[in-house]
């Protein structure tokens, strides 16, 4: 049987399935872009499906959505020779595409992927950074790289490596506040940030459970630490101080109860400080404990 005979026996669906098997899911963006190029170059009037531009498919959350979109478009090509030509062109383009081996290693680390995506997007913001979040940041990084020209894509490759170095050396051990696993703190911190930080309030992302809230808060603080460090320090100081004060209030400890276990000489000093700065003893103790907690726990790296 000749190659021609084999092709005649092959269906369009089989040609698409066999072609896609040759590539990884990371290659799907490259395939999608090649499909768009093929349609444009050939001005295929028979293509009834009007695909989105590569830059406008960032709303997809899973690679399988891109695969399904590609399959739908290729079916409209009808001719197996056209479908095969797309896959041949993709193989050629892959020879010149940016190697992303260092990106594959972080595929399942959403926190690192989110930091990397924000790092890439904000490197040339010239003092006007913006926070980005998506449920599948690894896929979004691939989309970002494939949607740019080869020169910019290679710059992104360098930035990915830089972001990994910064994350491991400076950020990984920050913002891992274990209280975020506590539902009360988790919900309170989310509300606090909405009420006290305009940038957080304007994020177009709405977490529906504790895990999503925790991921959002940590990723946002990672971004602040890297691009708005002074704002990060102020916000985290206020956040943990406010939480400590809330816990004091919720425990219904009166000034008397708060100081009942304190030695009398220390109680006397506490009262003098309270009068001197016109603040309650509870507020003073709360702030001191919060500051000491942050010194010992939060700032450890």
List pLDDT tens digits, range 163-176: 989 999 989 888 77
What pLDDT was estimated at residue 120?
87
Whether pLDDT at 83 is above 80: yes
Q: Can you tell me the distance from the alpha carbon of 57 to that of 216, in angstroms, rounded to the nearest whole number?
A: 22
**Non-local CB neighbours of 47 within 8 Å, separated by 6+ positions:** 39, 73, 76, 77
Q: Tell whether 163 and 187 lie within a shared domain.
A: no
List pLDDT tens digits, range 212-248: 999 999 999 999 999 999 999 999 999 988 888 888 7
What pLDDT was estimated at residue 265?
79
Q: Tell whether 145 and 44 lie within a shared domain.
A: no
Q: Tell whether 191 and 285 lie within a shared domain.
A: yes
Query: Helices H, strands E: what count in the chain?
Result: 16, 0
The answer to whether the beta carbons of residues 83 and 16 sit under 8 Å apart is: yes
Q: Tell whether 34 and 83 lie within a shared domain.
A: yes
More confident residue, 24 or 285: 24
Of 107-116, 148-157, 184-193, 280-289, the one with minimum mean pLDDT is 148-157
Q: Tell whether 90 and 126 lie within a shared domain.
A: no
Whether pLDDT at 2 is above 50: no
Instruction: Provide the residue range defining the domain that includes 155.
Output: 102-170
Counted residue by residue, the chain has a size of 301
The answer to whether the beta carbons of residues 47 and 39 sit under 8 Å apart is: yes
Domain boundary among 134, 151, 170: 170
Q: Can you tell me the distance from the alpha carbon of 23 to that of 67, in angstroms, rounded to the nearest whole number?
A: 11
The answer to whether the beta carbons of residues 212 and 240 sit under 8 Å apart is: no
More confident residue, 146 or 37: 37
Q: Tell whether 91 and 109 lie within a shared domain.
A: no
Domain boundary among 135, 151, 170: 170
Q: Tell whether 93 and 13 lie within a shared domain.
A: yes
Q: How confident is the model at residue 252 (pLDDT cuts 50, 70, 90)?
A: low
List pLDDT tens digits, range 123-138: 876 678 999 998 889 9
Helix (H, G, I), strand (E, B) or coil at 24: coil
Q: Can you tell me the distance from the alpha carbon of 192 to that of 223, in angstroms, rounded to the nearest whole number?
A: 18
Q: Can you tell me the distance from the alpha carbon of 237 to that of 194, in angstroms, rounded to the nearest whole number?
A: 16
Q: Tell whether 221 and 146 lie within a shared domain.
A: no
Count of structural domains, the chain: 3
What pLDDT was estimated at residue 149?
60
The answer to whether the beta carbons of residues 218 and 244 sit under 8 Å apart is: no
Tell me what the pLDDT averaged over the chain comes to: 81
Q: Can you tell me the distance from the alpha carbon of 13 to that of 133, in angstroms, rounded to the nearest whole number?
A: 36
Q: Which burial class, exposed, middle or buried, applies to 30 when counting CB atoms under 10 A from its CB (0-12, 13-18, 19+)?
A: buried
Domain boundary among 55, 74, 97: 97
Q: How confident is the model at residue 18 (pLDDT cuts 50, 70, 90)?
A: very high
CA pseudo-torsion sign 265, 269, 272, 278: negative
Of 62-66, 112-116, 156-160, 167-171, the one with minimum mean pLDDT is 156-160
The answer to whether the beta carbons of residues 31 and 83 sit under 8 Å apart is: no
Q: Tell whether 165 and 91 lie within a shared domain.
A: no
Q: Which two tokens stand for residue 94?
A: 């892959």
Q: Can you tell me the distance from the alpha carbon of 161 to that of 98, in angstroms, rounded to the nearest whole number?
A: 13
DSSP letter string, 244-268: HHHHHHHTT--HHHHHTTS-HHHHH
Q: Can you tell me the distance from the alpha carbon of 223 to that of 122, in angstroms, rounded to the nearest whole number?
A: 10
Q: Which two tokens stand for residue 30?
A: 């490259």
**pLDDT > 90 in the chain, percent:** 31
Whether pLDDT at 100 is above 90: no
The residue to which tokens 């539902």 are assigned: 183
Distances (CA, A) of 45 to 32, 41, 73, 76, 104: 18, 11, 13, 10, 38
Q: Stretch 16-40: mean pLDDT, rounded?
A: 89
Q: Tell whether 244 and 274 lie within a shared domain.
A: yes
What pLDDT was estimated at residue 247?
82
Distances (CA, A) of 102 to 128, 156, 291: 28, 12, 39
List pLDDT tens digits, range 33-63: 888 888 877 765 554 555 555 556 666 788 8
Q: Tell whether 234 and 278 lie within a shared domain.
A: yes
Q: Tell whether 197 and 280 lie within a shared domain.
A: yes
What pLDDT was estimated at residue 1?
42
């Amino acid at each position: 049987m000749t190659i021609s005979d084999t092709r005649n026996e092959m269906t369009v669906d089989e040609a698409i399935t066999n072609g896609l098997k040759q590539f990884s899911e990371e290659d799907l963006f490259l395939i999608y872009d090649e499909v768009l190029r093929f349609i444009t170059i050939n001005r295929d009037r028979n293509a009834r499906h009007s695909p989105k531009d590569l830059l406008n498919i960032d709303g997809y959350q899973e690679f399988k959505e891109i695969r399904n979109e590609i399959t739908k478009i290729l079916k409209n090509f009808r001719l197996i020779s056209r479908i095969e030509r797309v896959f041949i062109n993709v193989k050629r383009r892959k020879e010149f595409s940016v190697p992303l081996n260092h990106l594959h290693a972080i595929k399942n680390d959403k926190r690192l992927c989110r930091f990397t995506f924000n790092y890439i997007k904000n490197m040339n913001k010239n003092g006007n950074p913006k926070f980005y979040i998506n449920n599948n940041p690894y896929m979004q990084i691939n989309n970002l790289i494939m949607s740019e020209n080869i020169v910019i894509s290679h710059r992104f490759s360098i930035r990915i490596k830089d972001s990994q170095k910064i994350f491991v050396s400076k950020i990984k051990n920050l913002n891992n506040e274990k209280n975020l696993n506590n539902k009360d703190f988790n919900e309170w911190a989310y509300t606090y940030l909405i009420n006290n930080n305009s940038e957080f309030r304007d994020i177009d992302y709405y977490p529906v459970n504790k895990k999503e809230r925790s991921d959002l808060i940590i990723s946002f603080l990672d971004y602040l630490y890297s691009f708005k460090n002074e704002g990060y320090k102020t916000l985290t100081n206020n956040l943990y101080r406010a939480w400590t004060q809330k816990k004091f209030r919720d425990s219904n400890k009166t000034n008397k109860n708060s100081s009942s276990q304190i030695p009398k000489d220390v109680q006397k000093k506490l009262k003098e400080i309270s009068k001197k700065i016109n603040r309650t003893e509870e507020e003073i103790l709360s702030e001191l404990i919060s500051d000491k907690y942050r010194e010992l726990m939060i700032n450890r790296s």
